[in-house]
Amino acid sequence: MPIARPEPQNARVIAHVDMDCFYVQVEQRKNPELRGLPTAVVQYNSWKGGGLIAVGYEARKFGVKRSMRGDEAKRICPNIQLIQVPVARGKADLNLYRNAGSEVVSILATKGRCERASIDEVYLDLTDAAEMMLSETPPEVLDKIDEEVLKSHVLGLHVEGNGREEKVREWLHRSDADHQDKLLACGAIIVAQLRMKVLYETKFTCSGGIAHNKMLAKLASAMHKPAQQTVVPSSSVKDLLASLPVKKMKQLGGKLGSSLQTDLGANTVGDLLQFSKEKLQEHYGVNTGTWLWNISRGISGDAVVDRLLPKSHGCGKTFPGPQALKTFSSVENWVNQLCDELSERIQSDLDQNRRIAHTLTLHARAFKENDMEPQRKFPSKSCPLRYGTAKIQEDAVKLFDSGLCDFLGSQHIGWGITSLSIAASKISDLPQGTCSILKFLEGKIPSSASSSGAGEFHKESLPLSSTDDVQSTGCTVMDQEVKQKALASEVASNDIDIKFQAKPLKRIGSLVEKTKDVGKSSILKFFQSSNSSFHAMNQACERFSRDQASSSSFPECEEHSDLEQIDEQVGFSEGHVDIDGHHNQTRNGYMWGINMENIDPSVLDELPMEIQREIREWFHPPKRANTSRKGSSIVHYFSPVKKG
Cα(199)–Cα(132) distance, integer angstroms: 25
Catalytic residue among 27, 58, 115, 121: 121
Cα(30)–Cα(26) distance, integer angstroms: 6
Cα(528)–Cα(575) distance, integer angstroms: 18
**Exposure string for 183-218, b = 16+ CB within 10 A, e = fewer:** bbbbbbbbbbebbeebeeebebbbbbbbbbbbbbbb
**Identity at 81, one-letter amino acid code:** Q
Name the residue among 358, 339, 345, 337 with its Cα closest to residue 309.
Answer: 345
Q: What angle do CA 277, 282, 287 make, to 5 degrees?
A: 65
Q: How many CB atoms lie within 10 A of CB 401?
A: 17
Name the residue among 38, 47, 190 with its Cα closest to residue 124.
Answer: 190
CB-count burial class (<10 Å; 0-12, 13-18, 19+) for 602: middle
Count of CA atoms in the C-beta half-sphere (13 A) of 299: 15
Give helix 277-284 / helix 255-263 axis angle, nearest 10°.
Answer: 120
The answer to whether 387 touches 336, Cβ cutoff 8 Å, is no
CB-count burial class (<10 Å; 0-12, 13-18, 19+) for 96: middle
Q: Is the peptide bond before 226 cis (omega within 30 degrees of 0)?
A: yes
Cα(565)–Cα(266) distance, integer angstroms: 89
Count of CA atoms in the C-beta half-sphere (13 A) of 488: 16
Cα(456)–Cα(436) distance, integer angstroms: 15
Q: Which residues of 119-192 form beta strands (DSSP E)?
A: 121-125, 153-154
Active site residue 121: yes
The answer to whether 216 touches 248, Cβ cutoff 8 Å, is no
Cα(195)–Cα(17) distance, integer angstroms: 9
Q: Which residues are 113's β-sheet partners?
A: 125
Q: Which H or E element spans position 627?
A: none
Cα(129)–Cα(136) distance, integer angstroms: 11
Q: What angle do CA 388, 390, 391 make, to 5 degrees?
A: 65
User: CA torsion sign, 96 to 388 to 313 to 49?
Assistant: positive
Pairing relationship of beta strands 153-154 and 229-231 according to DSSP bridges: parallel
Pairing relationship of beta strands 81-84 and 113-118 according to DSSP bridges: unpaired
Question: In which order are the strands placed within the sheet that holds 113-118?
Answer: 113-118, 121-125, 14-19, 206-211, 229-231, 153-154
Q: What angle do CA 120, 98, 344 make, to 5 degrees?
A: 145
Question: In which order are the strands placed within the sheet that holds 582-587?
Answer: 576-577, 582-587, 590-595
Q: Known catalytic residues?
A: 121
